[in-house]
Structure 1
Amino acid sequence: MRAFRLAYDGRPYSGFQRQPDVPTVEDALFDALRELDVESPPPGYAAAGRTDAGVSALAQTVAFEAPDWLTPAALNGTLPGTVRAWASADVAADFHATHDATRRTYRYHLYAPNIDDERARAALDRLAGEHDFHNLTTDDTGTVRRLDTDCHRDGDFLVVTISAGGFARHMVRRIVALVRAVGAGESGADRIGRVLGPDPLDGAAGVATASATPLLLADVTYPEVDFARNPDAAASARAVFAERRVDARVAARVTSDLTDGVQER
């Protein structure tokens, strides 16, 4: 068995997991394996998690029975540029990429030039520890989680980091939406107590789901696995994502020009 670290720009995809009639990261991976004459899906295949549509990843992890020659660089030869393998590790025959992960870390780049950082940080601190997050997910079970939280200011952005053994559906994005509302003064700090309380909050009282595109799966921890960075594959990933970063900056300049031009007329 071999485990691979995958990095991807999730914006073109309808999530990680295969779905009918829409592009997904898993489809791109399986298509790449077929081009390499590797059985797809391969024996023993599992992934660390299912990122939603638009969510990106630095350390999505997949593992399967791979031929000896299948390195991250070889895999990148048939993957689309939006998905790059960059590290790998040989793992035990019974390794499972989902069940053997002990910790997952998400990072959210919240555009927040005008929120109060201290209020936002206090809200995050209140959400840390073990709670029942039933009001911050659409799941009916598995809602009790233990979180570690942190945030720091980076220009106009508040970078929110949340770690746990696992997360319920939409949980991270709803936490971010709640923190933003408290930090912006749209909700009082007492709202967090109501959200964490036993009563269900629906409709206007509930918490909306923040946008998916600023969210990144930053790390997945496997205590017994030592991933080796593949220099060629990592260089390919850096080059591809650096080019996409330039494209995004160019698009931001154009839309800024449009905004300013409309304002002036």
Structure 2
Amino acid sequence: MRAFRVAYDGRPFHGFQRQPDVPTVESALFDALRKLDVLDHEADKPAGYAAAGRTDAGVSAVAQTVAFDCPGWLSPRAFSSQLPADVRVWASADVPCQFHATYDCESRAYEYHLYAPGADLERARAAIAALQGTHDFANLTAASFDDTVRTLETANVEQDDAFLVFSLRANGFLWELVRRIGSLVRAVATGAAPPEKVSRVLEPEPLPGHEGVPPAPPEGLVLVDAAYPGVEFVPDERAVETVREVFGEKETTATTAARAARSVGERVR
């Protein structure tokens, strides 16, 4: 069995998990494997297949991880040869036959870039420090879970111009948890909510609708790590170069589009 690290731009996709009639990252992976004759055209998915986790529509990844039974020649470069440019496989590791990419993942880490002009960094740091550790995060997810207690092993925030940049690692994440944490911390950091809002959110009583914390936009969220103790991923150097080339071009295109949008906004009187 082999595990692969997958990087992707989540914006063109309706999330990671395969869905009928809409493009997803997982569908792109399976289509590539069929083109390579690794996956039989009649098969639902590769033998032993599992992924580190799901990402929502618009969410990107550096180290999404998938693992399955495959021939020895399937390298990251070969895998990427049949993938759209938005999805790149860049590293791999041979793993035991009982390896499960979901259940064997010890922790996951996300980075979130959130536009927050006027945010006070010290207020943001105090808010996120209060969220670190083990808490019941029921008020920071829209999904229904039997157990909403999670442990944020690390929770940091830095400022980069008009953006707050969050780094979060946990033993598991609830749906929209990172995006709602970002929204909560931004509200406190900009003065839209008092610092006491953080402790109120962590209380077991549900927040009334008007006090709820909405999720911030998905486009700034990136899955940056899925940790597997004892598994050593070997980068494919050419595949890594391709990732840098593809995403460098994407950055240039996005920067150019942003400048054009600013020009339009400034010139309309």
In which range does the TM-score fall when normalised by the shorter chain?
over 0.9
The amino acid across from 1:218 in the alignment is V
- 1:227 is aligned, of 219, 228, 233, to 233
Query: Match for residue 12 of structure 2?
Result: 12
Contact 1:139 1:168 in 2 (8 A): no
Kindly state the Cα deviation for residue 139 of structure 1 after the two structures are TM-superposed. Answer: 2.8
Using the size of structure 1 for normalisation, the TM-score is 0.97
Kindly state the Cα deviation for residue 243 of structure 1 after the two structures are TM-superposed. Answer: 0.8
Kindly state the Cα deviation for residue 113 of structure 1 after the two structures are TM-superposed. Answer: 2.4
Q: Write the mapping of 1:124-135 to structure 2, written as runs, cut at 5 A.
A: 124-135=128-139
Q: Write the mapping of 1:176-195 to structure 2, written as runs, cut at 5 A.
A: 176-195=182-201
2:98 matches 1:94: yes
Alpha-carbon distance in structure 1 between the residues aligned to 2:181 and 2:148: 13
Which has the higher mean CA deviation after the structures are superposed, 37-46 or 51-60?
37-46
Q: Deviations over 1:14-50 (max 9, x none)?
A: 0000011111000110000000011151100000000
Alpha-carbon distance in structure 1 between the residues aligned to 2:197 and 2:178: 17
Query: Match for residue 149 of structure 2?
Result: 144
Alpha-carbon distance in structure 1 between the residues aligned to 2:129 and 2:178: 14
Using the size of structure 2 for normalisation, the TM-score is 0.96
The amino acid across from 1:261 in the alignment is R
Q: Deviations over 1:108-131 (max 9, x none)?
A: 001122111111110000000000
Contact 1:130 1:146 in 2 (8 A): yes
Contact 1:136 1:195 in 2 (8 A): yes
Unaligned runs of 5+ in 2: none
Alpha-carbon distance in structure 2 between the residues aligned to 1:240 and 1:75: 16
Unaligned runs of 5+ in 1: none
SS of 1:223's equivalent in the other structure is coil
